[in-house]
Amino acid sequence: MADHPTLAKQLCSQHDTCIFLKLFHLIRTRPDNQATHADLILLDLQVVRLLSRVTQRTESWPNNNQSPCQCYTELVQAVVIIFHRQWLDLRSSQEQTSASCWPYWSGAASLLREALLLLHWLLLHHRSFSESCRPVLHMYDQMIPAVRETLNKIPELSDSEELALEEICRSYGDDSDDMDTDTAS
């Protein structure tokens, strides 16, 4: 889908049947009680990978001026929820096991790393990031001050992950770095 911009635009529609809105609702609610923890991590990882591919091809993802669909706004919230959930999961696992067990967390760490990169991209490119983030701001505020410590325990962060971590943490501490400069929206 990410390789076909026309299909991506058709899937993000103005109707209640928008596939992305349904996906974001699934992420928020996790209605399947029978799914294993590993399955939920895998689902979140696949969603982050899909969203990364679709959003970073700006011609594929309609912006908030092109479509009245709420998926553009819900996108930021879904990524914050995934990132927050994974950060809590890793933090909880870290408290229960020794710090030398990173291979145990490899799937969870991969999700955290990829969600970090997507969240950073959204911070830089989503015109109303702050406004979209407001409904889940409590999660964002809880996670950002502590996420650096958690991610620094992951071996061999890439340069892009280090940069994303720096800029996300800096934007939290410095309101002048807020990417929501368009007050007309």
- Residues 32-85 have pLDDT tens digits of 778 888 888 888 999 999 889 888 775 555 554 555 667 878 888 999 999 988
The token pair that represents 77 in the structure block: 């919230």
Which residues in 87-123 are b (16+ Cβ under 10 Å) and which e? Answer: bebbeeebeeeeeeebeebeebbbbbbbbbbbbbbbb
Name the more confident of 72 and 25. Answer: 25
Confirm whether pTM is higher than 0.85: no
Q: Is the pLDDT of residue 102 over 60?
A: no
- In 3-state terms, the chain is what percent helix, strand and coil (to 5)? 70, 0, 30
Local confidence band at 178 (pLDDT 50, 70, 90 cut-offs) = very low
Local confidence band at 177 (pLDDT 50, 70, 90 cut-offs) = very low
The token pair that represents 2 in the structure block: 């990410």
Neighbouring residues of 150: CB distance < 8 A, sequence distance ≥ 6: 87, 90, 91, 94, 112
| Sign of the alpha-carbon dihedral angle for 95, 97, 99, 103 | negative
Residue with token string 């410095």:
174
Neighbouring residues of 7: CB distance < 8 A, sequence distance ≥ 6: 1
CA dihedral 117, 130, 140, 154 (to 10 degrees): 20
Across all residues in the chain, what is the average pLDDT? 75
